[in-house]
Amino acid sequence: MASVWILPCASVFATLAVVLAVLLLLCLVWDVFDKRSPKFHAINRFPGPPVLPLVGTAYHTRGLDAAKTFDAFRHYTHLHGGSYRLWLNSGTFVLNVTRCQELEPFLSGVRNTEKSLLYRFLHPFIGVGLLNSGGEKWLQRRRILTPAFHFNILHGFHRTFCEETEKLAALIDNAEQPDGPGDIELQSMMSQFTLNTICETSMGVKLDTMDGAVAYREGIYKVGEMMLIRAVRPWLYFDWTYGVLGYARKLRRLLKPLHQFTSGIINQRRQLFQQGMLDDLAAGADERDTYSTSFDGKKRYAMLDTLLAAELRGLIDDKGIREEVDTFTFEGHDTTSAALTFIFLTLAWEQEVQERLYQELRQLHDEKSVRDGHFLANDLGSLKYFDRVIKECFRLWPPVPFISRSVTEEITLPDGRTIPKDCIAALHIFDLHRDPVQFPDPERFDPERFLPENVATRNPYAYVPFSAGQRNCIGQKYALLEVKTAVAYLVLRYRVLPVTERSEIRFIADLVLRASTPLRVRFERRSD
């Protein structure tokens, strides 16, 4: 009886083996012809890892965790001396852009401004809002939101930045130990501070009236891990494989508390709007009047109010409001939190820089007879050395180390090479800011790089912490004012001392610049 079963089984296995062999042969033949395409010949003029049959260069991040993935991108930039290519097939290939020559065409004009398919992975999280939409939808959203970042509004936000900075200082004081200042874990403390400010300024809601803030901050990190897993595994680019392997279900579970949190923000502000407590917005008052805000904070309006008013005029629907609130709650707090974390770390490492900055702040403080420790928004702009220090921190530690574009029109570079249509252009700002041609000795912290005479010698696209061109960051002035307000107040109040050394930091690939371990400093109260 056994022999009766063995023969059919052997026949089935033999047939399957033949089918698989034929399929493999067909794939290999297709791969050969695919590599004869104009796209491959164009992209192959850029250096990169060896392209293997069928798998291309997909092996270069296979099995790597977030920290090793970050290191791999830095390794290949150093190995190839600049921008380099990755290849799977003519439908999925990447140019990792790390130098100005290849970057400039994406930021200097109106072509090739569409975000790449990698941003599609963010759709379940933040929808298709200002960050990742394109075409007419992006243009309409930009027009709606631009007034929300008017000069007068930012001055109104400044009062909130001051108040939240004082709360941050109170948290630092409470961490003090009997024998001296305690270690401060920067990521969580700065994240709490920036989430407070984005909720009160842009959303018009105080965080102490909301549930779920802690779950939101923690959930952001887990969602970032999920995005990375998909971005470095090309087989997960297809929605069906992402779902079959269980990732989609896990992502939905992670996103539920995040969306509940932002829905609560919208509902609370919408209730005020419907109750007529924001009458001048609903009536379509002139923007200059609507957003004029006195320093004492008696009249404060938020980006969410602008969206609610636009909904009333039929310019955006409820789904659109959710998209922008999800986008700005995430982007507006996480990126600024990363910026502050690395600014305070850098000041702790660079004691001479910190002392010079303190002396500049103290001089203006005494000249202006500042009583509450806060400068006016206009005063912050007059501090030249302070400005150079912040810029150099953004150069070394760009909060968003990576953005991506889709090549919708072929690009011809000055050296004759072409970036073919349908290429994914990964713009690595972290590496761009370390180009030794533009920034000699790039790992050295040197604020004098941003003296006017030194800036004039560089390519204008060598330094782009907020991107540039048509799709630059709409909130960059907001972020800079928030950062400068917090740093000025805390440096006048404390001496920042190192705990975590620069050599100890292990970065991870994520949506914003992060480290794999806690980053700590000490804030020692000044006596003078």
Q: Which residues are annotated as a binding site for heme?
A: 473
Helix runs in 58-134, H state only: 66-80, 100-107, 123-126
CA atoms within 13 Å, Cβ hemisphere of 276: 0
Pairing of the two strands 424-428 and 520-525: unpaired
Could you list the residues known to form a binding site, using ranges.
Answer: 473
DSSP string, 185-235: EHHHHHHHHHHHHHHHHTS---GGG-S-HHHHHHHHHHHHHHHHHHHT-GG
Q: Is the dihedral of CA 408, 414, 416, 417 positive or negative?
A: negative
Whose tokens are 């999925």? That residue is 92
Return left, alpha or beta for 54; rule: phi > 0 is left, psi -120 to 50 is alpha, else beta: left
Percentages of the chain per state (helix, strand, coil), in multiples of 5: 60, 10, 30
- Smallest CA-to-CA distance from 471 within 513, 427, 423 is with 427
For residue 442, count CB atoms less than 10 angstroms from its CB and return exposed for 0-12, middle for 13-18, buried for 19 or more.
middle
**Angle formed at CA 418 by CA 413 and CA 420, multiple of 5 degrees:** 135
Backbone angles phi, psi at 176, to 5 degrees: -65, 140
Q: Encode 118-148: b = buried (16+ Cβ within 10 Å), e = exposed.
A: bbebbeebbbbbbbbbeeeebebbeebbebb
**Is the separation of the CB atoms in 217 and 512 below 8 Å?**
no
- Measured CA to CA in angstroms, residue 482 lies from 132, 160, 177, 346 at distances of 24, 9, 28, 18
Residue 54: DSSP 8-state: T
CA 271 to centroid of chain Cα atoms: 31
- Measured CA to CA in angstroms, residue 383 lies from 153, 279, 361, 377 at distances of 22, 39, 8, 11
- Smallest CA-to-CA distance from 311 within 285, 281, 332 is with 281
CA–CA dist 133, 120 (Å, integer): 9
CA–CA dist 87, 85 (Å, integer): 7
